[in-house]
């Protein structure tokens, strides 16, 4: 079962995502990124975090340890922003913590252009995302970290943030286990992911026993929408077993090249630009050249 710790010191909020998790020190002297039950994403996001994160670890992918964090909002009384304070107040009790990776860097497109990723490792990650219907590992939001970065060991890819996975649990009655997975914008799509090798390696390891072990890690209070928590667990196990059995139906194989993705991004940017009001088209690009002054007249370019 997941270890339980108690938050003892508030370090800072993280505003990079919509859920506004916080960094806390706990009574085991560990530091954790805490995701709250009171966030807008709801408790199903935490269910997805536990199931997919523990699956990733069981399958040999690098994912930080998860813990259950007992949280008293009084620990964060010095937080100055009211919206964060409201989130804390709505999250008293048991929350989810992710082991903090000090010095880790986001796997951004700039870093990705220079960072080698083995096709089999890319294939394993893409396979996990396709299996668990994770819609949030894109070139725009990779939810991948590179760690460590201090020369102690070679930097490696680490997975984080699976709250947007398991999309089927938002509408159980309309999600078929053989539903295809869209990989057009996956963060690792241009590394030539060897998803067939990953499927041959990983699919046989996703057994009923493993799924029951992983789903058992989810606290009862987070399992909603069913008569009992055990009924919810049966639903998750049954769906994921059915999905892994038909991996040939959803296994992604048609990955766009880097050039194809760049062309698609350019087309999208052009459509967005052409759709802007005339007055807005004259606003300078804040990341480009500044206005140019000439004979007292300011020209926007």
Do 68 and 5 contact (CB within 8 A), yes or no?
yes
d(CA 291, CA 287): 12
The pLDDT of residue 295 is: 42
Alpha helices in the chain (DSSP H): 43-58, 82-89, 109-112, 119-131, 195-202, 208-215, 229-245, 247-250, 258-274, 278-281
Angle, CA of 136, 14 and 35, to the nearest 5°: 65
Do 48 and 163 contact (CB within 8 A), yes or no?
yes
Structural tokens at position 41? 């994403």
As beta bridge partners, residue 158 has 145
The pLDDT of residue 170 is: 94
Which three-class secondary structure string do you get for 117-144? CCHHHHHHHHHHHHHCCCCCCECCCCCE
The pLDDT of residue 149 is: 63
What does the DSSP assignment read for 234-245? HHHHHHHHHHHH
The pLDDT of residue 17 is: 66
Q: Considering all CA atoms of the chain, what is the largest pairwise distance in Å, rounded to the nearest integer?
A: 77
Q: Over the range 253-285, which residues count as b (16 or more CB within 10 Å of their CB) and which as e?
A: eebbeeeebeeeeeeeeeeeeeeeeeeeeeeee
Length reported for the chain? 301
Tens-binned pLDDT, residue by residue, of the chain (301 aa) = 899 999 999 999 997 767 899 999 999 999 999 999 999 999 999 999 999 999 999 999 999 999 999 999 999 999 999 999 999 999 999 999 999 999 899 999 888 878 889 999 999 999 999 999 999 999 889 999 999 866 677 889 999 999 999 999 999 988 899 999 998 889 999 899 999 999 999 999 999 999 999 999 999 999 999 999 999 999 999 999 999 999 999 999 888 666 776 676 677 677 767 765 554 444 344 334 444 444 443 333 3
Give pTM, 2 decimals. Answer: 0.85
Q: Which candidate, 251, 240, 140, places its Cα nearest to that of 196?
A: 251
The pLDDT of residue 143 is: 96
The pLDDT of residue 206 is: 98
The pLDDT of residue 275 is: 67
Structural tokens at position 112? 């990705």
63: left (phi over 0), alpha (psi -120 to 50) or beta: beta
């Amino acid at each position: 079962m997941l270890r339980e710790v108690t938050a003892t010191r508030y370090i800072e909020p993280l505003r990079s995502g919509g859920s506004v998790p916080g960094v806390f020190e706990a009574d085991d002297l560990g530091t954790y990124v805490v995701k709250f039950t009171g966030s807008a994403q709801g408790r199903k996001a935490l269910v997805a975090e536990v199931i997919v994160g523990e699956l990733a670890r069981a399958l040999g992918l690098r994912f930080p340890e998860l813990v259950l964090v007992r949280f008293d909002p009084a620990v964060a009384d010095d937080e100055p922003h009211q919206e964060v304070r409201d989130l804390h107040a709505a999250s008293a009790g048991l929350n989810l913590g992710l082991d903090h990776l000090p010095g880790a860097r986001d796997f951004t497109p700039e870093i990705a252009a220079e960072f080698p990723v083995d096709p089999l490792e890319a294939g394993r990650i893409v396979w996990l995302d396709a299996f668990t219907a994770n819609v949030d590992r894109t070139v725009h939001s990779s939810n991948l970290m590179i760690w460590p970065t201090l020369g102690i060991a070679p930097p490696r890819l680490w997975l984080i943030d699976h709250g947007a996975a398991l999309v089927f649990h938002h509408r159980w009655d309309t999600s078929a286990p053989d539903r295809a997975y869209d990989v057009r914008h996956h963060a690792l799509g241009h590394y030539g992911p060897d998803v067939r090798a990953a499927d041959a390696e990983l699919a046989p390891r996703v057994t009923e026993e493993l799924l029951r072990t992983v789903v058992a890690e989810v606290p009862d209070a987070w399992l909603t929408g069913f008569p009992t928590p055990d009924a919810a667990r049966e639903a998750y196990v049954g769906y994921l077993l059915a999905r892994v059995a038909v991996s040939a139906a959803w296994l992604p194989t048609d990955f766009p090249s880097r050039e194809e993705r760049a062309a698609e991004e350019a087309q999208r940017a052009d459509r967005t630009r052409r759709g802007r009001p005339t007055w807005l088209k004259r606003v300078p690009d804040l990341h480009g050249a500044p206005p140019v002054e000439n004979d007292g007249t300011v020209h926007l370019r």
